[in-house]
Chain A
Amino acid sequence: MMKSPASLTIHEAAAALRAKTLSSVELTKAVFERIRAVEPQVHAYLHLTEEDALAQAAASDRRRAAEESRGPLDGVPIALKDNLCTRGVPTTCASKILERFVPPYDATVVTRLRAAGAVITGKTNLDEFAFGSSTENSAFGPSRNPWDLDRVPGGSSGGSAAAVAADEAIAALGSDTGGSIRQPAALCGLAGLKPTYGRVSRYGLIAFASSLDQIGPLAKDVEDCAILEEAIEGWDAADSTSVRLEGPSVTQASAGDIQGLRIGIAKEWLGTGLDPEVRAAVDGARVPLEKLGCTFREISLPLQDYALPIYYLVAPAEASSNLARFDGVKYGRREDGANIVEMYKKSRSAGFGPETKRRIILGTYVLSAGYYDAYYLKALKARTRLRQDYLDALKECDALLSPATPTPAFRIGEKADDPLQMYLSDIYTVSVNLVGLPALVVPCGFSAAGLPIGMQLIGRAFDDATLLRVGARYQNVTDWHRRKPPLPDSGEGGV
């Protein structure tokens, strides 16, 4: 059976489109056929935009015929996490409180994807407001891991990860506040990039924790991550925290070899709680990297153990503030009340799920008079020191290597009633957001049960390209990323 175009990567699809052996309409139709086949099992999407996608694809084909094609993304179907605002298309954050919210504007990344000619397939599932690591906190039901439908795809960008892993999109955008791109990428066998804070405009990303949020790609390989990052990144007048980028583009800068690169591994990463299979897979990745010319050294990140506690003070504090606007007054769900306060209470009680309420309560508490200094302020100080640890480590190393997650994908329901266990699944990823650095997750093996395992590369500020270079060279000599999940309706068959 011929390989379905839906299984292509961005660069493969771009090559076929350029060679005119494939049209964007054919590619887009193939993706929607695939969605029809597997979506009932995977539930990656909250909203599909098929009609509009086909119109965009036809427009792309016309541009190509007129030799006005816009580059590697022109005509390529991309899925968007449903916390990225899309003009005229519902944007729910997987929350009942935004069930009927239709933004009147596009997020900057969406504008940039459209400008690059990308075809938007729809909006993918997530944990409500990106609070979670499994998509089980979605108000509209969990997504499932294409590698094992009884397991979670990770989160919060679990819908984007599941969609790409199941070939329901060529690639997708997610957002990452504490690992929300990287953890699902690892659990679904994908490449996922959390760019340096400030590299990608957050305008139009419905904020979770503003000082930590960053939009990034989830893709079938590292090369695709570079293509997507290049399309969405760069200074934006609408986001004061976005940065003007200088030097060569990420796709150019990630093209070279990795001879002589120094990679650090923190001893604190390999302690208790790390699954032996994950440990073995990450350890195994050293061999091909050494063959490619990298050297490894042990480093220490003494404050690593504090990363999760710092994160769970800073992130909920900002979240409680960012979510204050959802009150039933202007948009979204409104429950009538006898007075304004009752309306607020009823609307928010009915609109938010349990994890969202937990984080709002936690965040409100740590910002309250009398507790601010003890919690929030202290967390900020610890955050500064944690950043210094990472900056020091990256003085003697070009990149750091860690596991992406402590275990492969866990079962749906396994951690749903234990928030602390759930929070621990982000133990390797949260510190990267706290220190604002870039990090890339790349598949590096499989468990005995056939579940993907990912490793994480952490780089210097704004040196995302070095990570992409290491990841891409690694993928030149490994094929973990080429495996496809054994979905029952997959035209491809399994591993």
Chain B
Amino acid sequence: MRAMTEFETVIGLEVHCELSTKTKIFCGCSTKFGAAPNSQVCPVCLGLPGTLPVMNAEALERAILVGLAVGCTIRRRFKFDRKHYYYPDLPKNFQISQYDLPLAHDGRVDLAGAHPVRVKRVHLEEDAGKLVHEGAGQQIATGTAALVDYNRSGMPLLEIVSEPDLREPAEAVAYVKSLQTLVRYLHVSDGNMEEGSLRCDANISVRPKGADELGAKIEIKNMNSFKSIEHALTFEARRQRDALARGETLAQETRLWDDTAGETRSMRSKEAAHDYRYFPEPDLLVFTMDDARLAVIRGRLPELPWTKRLRYVQTLGLTDYDAGVLTSDRTVAEYFEATIAAGAPPKTACNWVSTELLGALHGRKLGIGDSRVAPRQLAALIALIDKATISGKIAKTVFAEMLVSGADPDAVVKAKGLVQITDEDALVTSVRDVLAANPQSVADFKAGKSQTIGFLVGQVMKATGGKANPQAVNKILKEELTR
């Protein structure tokens, strides 16, 4: 029997992220998504003859901010280059990008529960327009006309290139998700895969486990969702393994993921690869970044998601899972932090935010920013439980009311008369009434069926409309029964 060779998948990702600056990278056109075709264009982003690019300073700062956040070294002198290829969506038939001197290089992203992923480079470039195919199937092969929408042309685009450090499709997805969280934390991009503001190409190869050399690098394009990244990479890894197992050799090529067919297809071979004829963009000067300006940009860095997650575990005592839920979205984390700043204990606040609040909001397809309950109000509600003014169960009723009306918890409790009864004298009467009405249960308890007490507590709670303090009821019941 032939020994099965064990294979290892090696994945590197190029993540493209459209920066959500107000205006495009080289002109004053709006970057708003979803406008009528060619309504956000000007001579510059249409590449009309005689026009020149002028760098959007905010786009540059955001690019550097991302570079800093992934731990890159920021180059003190960097330039832009022209990358040439002919395509109708590229108005100048060259893209202004960065070739040998990207603005940031050599960083890393620490994935939770996995090894770190090295970031090779981060660079800034302009996006191209979009082709729209008219006619049958709206496909290039069957369409009757190709139309171009240049609204996207000249949108600032950040490219984050990883080293081939990923080993599993799931890891690749986790990496892209952490970059998505990051750019949203930094408020530099919507990071929206459906709208194309976050896009991803992968380089994937397979090699015998333990080998040092990489296999033939195959680039996969057209993965438009997290699901398609996972499916495409899983498909491709299996395809490559199968080919190698059959004794075939793989050649460097670019392949396109077809989401509907669920397979990758060859797009062009290495021989057909473009010669981009990069050369320095003469219309932009070399950029210099001094310490003072870098310090200002660094000052814009918030606490990063992975730092926050670690802090929640180490200093606040949350589980890694809970910390992950709270830090996956900066607004959620900020809400949580505001809640504990208003006095709520971290663990309780975590439960309320991640279960009650997010659950309720998700059900209504709302974001945390839409919550009518302010962190201060949630903290006040938690305080009412801790002071035993209301029970945890009643608190959920109060919270539901707060979500609708935005009222303070005190006001809801007062208006609905929900204050918990902890006064033992008041409770003794209710307990005695319940015992008198349930002689069989009393007999069972005395015969040794101690679990009967649960039923009796429930009866008292029912009789008091849920307002009785369960611990107090328990205590009084035991006293009365053992008397």
Give the complex CA separation of A370 and B78 in angstroms: 24
Contact between chains at A325 and B277 (CB < 8 Å) = no
B46, B50, B51, B283 — most chain A CB neighbours (10 Å) = B50
Contact between chains at B54 and A325 (CB < 8 Å) = no
Contact between chains at B93 and A324 (CB < 8 Å) = yes
Give the complex CA separation of A273 and B277 in angstroms: 36
- Asked whether B92 is an interface residue with its Cβ less than 8 Å from the other chain, the reply is yes
Residues of B within 8 A of A369 (CB): 275, 277
Give the complex CA separation of A324 and B86 in angstroms: 8
Interface positions, chain A 366-395, Cβ under 8 Å from B, are: 367-369, 372, 376
Contact between chains at B46 and A327 (CB < 8 Å) = no
Closest to B274 in A: A369
Selected contact of B50 from candidates A204, A241, A340, A376, CB within 8 Å: A204
Interface positions, chain A 171-220, Cβ under 8 Å from B, are: 202-207, 209-211
Contact between chains at B49 and A203 (CB < 8 Å) = no
Give the complex CA separation of A83 and B146 in angstroms: 30
- Asked whether A295 is an interface residue with its Cβ less than 8 Å from the other chain, the reply is no
Closest to A84 in B: B50
Contact between chains at A104 and B48 (CB < 8 Å) = yes
- Asked whether A490 is an interface residue with its Cβ less than 8 Å from the other chain, the reply is no
Residues of A within 8 A of B417 (CB): none
Selected contact of A85 from candidates B46, B50, B148, CB within 8 Å: B50
- Asked whether A288 is an interface residue with its Cβ less than 8 Å from the other chain, the reply is no
Contact between chains at B279 and A317 (CB < 8 Å) = yes
Give the complex CA separation of A368 and B277 in angstroms: 5
- Asked whether A306 is an interface residue with its Cβ less than 8 Å from the other chain, the reply is no
Interface string of B34-69 (1 = CB under 8 A from A): 000000000100111111111100000000000000
- Asked whether A421 is an interface residue with its Cβ less than 8 Å from the other chain, the reply is no
Selected contact of A237 from candidates B54, B88, B284, CB within 8 Å: B54
Interface positions, chain B 1-59, Cβ under 8 Å from A, are: 43, 46-55
Selected contact of A206 from candidates B49, B84, B88, B277, CB within 8 Å: B49
Residues of A within 8 A of B284 (CB): 240
Contact between chains at B52 and A240 (CB < 8 Å) = yes
Selected contact of B94 from candidates A203, A324, A330, A340, CB within 8 Å: A324
Tell me, rounded to whole Å, the shortest Cβ–Cβ distance linking A210 to chain B.
4
Residues of B within 8 A of A326 (CB): 49
User: For the side of the interface on A, what is the size category?
Assistant: 35 or more
Residues of A within 8 A of B283 (CB): 207, 210, 239-241
Selected contact of A330 from candidates B46, B55, B278, CB within 8 Å: B46
Interface positions, chain B 385-437, Cβ under 8 Å from A, are: none
Residues of A within 8 A of B277 (CB): 321, 364, 367-369, 372
Tell me, rounded to whole Å, the shortest Cβ–Cβ distance linking A457 to chain B.
26
- Asked whether B454 is an interface residue with its Cβ less than 8 Å from the other chain, the reply is no
Contact between chains at B279 and A372 (CB < 8 Å) = yes
Give the complex CA separation of A210 and B275 in angstroms: 22
Residues of B within 8 A of A101 (CB): 49
- Asked whether B324 is an interface residue with its Cβ less than 8 Å from the other chain, the reply is no
Interface positions, chain B 257-300, Cβ under 8 Å from A, are: 275, 277-279, 282-285
B84, B91, B146, B277 — most chain A CB neighbours (10 Å) = B277
- From known contacts A324-B86, A324-B94, A364-B277, infer whether A103 and B49 are also in contact, taking CB-CB under 8 Å: yes
Contact between chains at B88 and A340 (CB < 8 Å) = yes
- Asked whether B82 is an interface residue with its Cβ less than 8 Å from the other chain, the reply is yes
Selected contact of A240 from candidates B54, B84, B88, B92, CB within 8 Å: B54
Tell me, rounded to whole Å, the shortest Cβ–Cβ distance linking B52 to chain A.
5
Interface string of A257-281 (1 = CB under 8 A from B): 0000000000000000000000000
Give the complex CA separation of A321 and B148 in angstroms: 22
Give the complex CA separation of A93 and B50 in angstroms: 11
- Asked whether A140 is an interface residue with its Cβ less than 8 Å from the other chain, the reply is no
Interface positions, chain A 308-331, Cβ under 8 Å from B, are: 317-318, 321, 324-327, 329-331
Contact between chains at B285 and A241 (CB < 8 Å) = yes
Contact between chains at B50 and A206 (CB < 8 Å) = yes
Tell me, rounded to whole Å, the shortest Cβ–Cβ distance linking B447 to chain A.
91
Closest to B150 in A: A330
Contact between chains at A85 and B88 (CB < 8 Å) = no
Contact between chains at A210 and B43 (CB < 8 Å) = no
Give the complex CA separation of A318 and B285 in angstroms: 15
- Asked whether A238 is an interface residue with its Cβ less than 8 Å from the other chain, the reply is yes
Closest to A363 in B: B277
Contact between chains at A203 and B84 (CB < 8 Å) = no
- Asked whether A480 is an interface residue with its Cβ less than 8 Å from the other chain, the reply is no
Give the complex CA separation of A442 and B284 in angstroms: 33
- From known contacts A85-B50, A207-B50, A210-B283, infer whether A240 and B55 are also in contact, taking CB-CB under 8 Å: yes
Contact between chains at A104 and B86 (CB < 8 Å) = no
16 A-B pairs with C-beta separation under 8 A: A85-B50, A98-B49, A204-B51, A205-B50, A206-B49, A209-B282, A239-B283, A241-B285, A321-B94, A326-B49, A327-B93, A340-B146, A344-B86, A367-B84, A367-B278, A368-B275
Q: A203-B50, A372-B279 are in contact. List 13 more A-B contacts (CB 8 A).
A: A105-B48, A203-B51, A239-B54, A241-B283, A317-B279, A321-B82, A321-B277, A325-B47, A326-B49, A329-B148, A330-B91, A340-B88, A341-B86
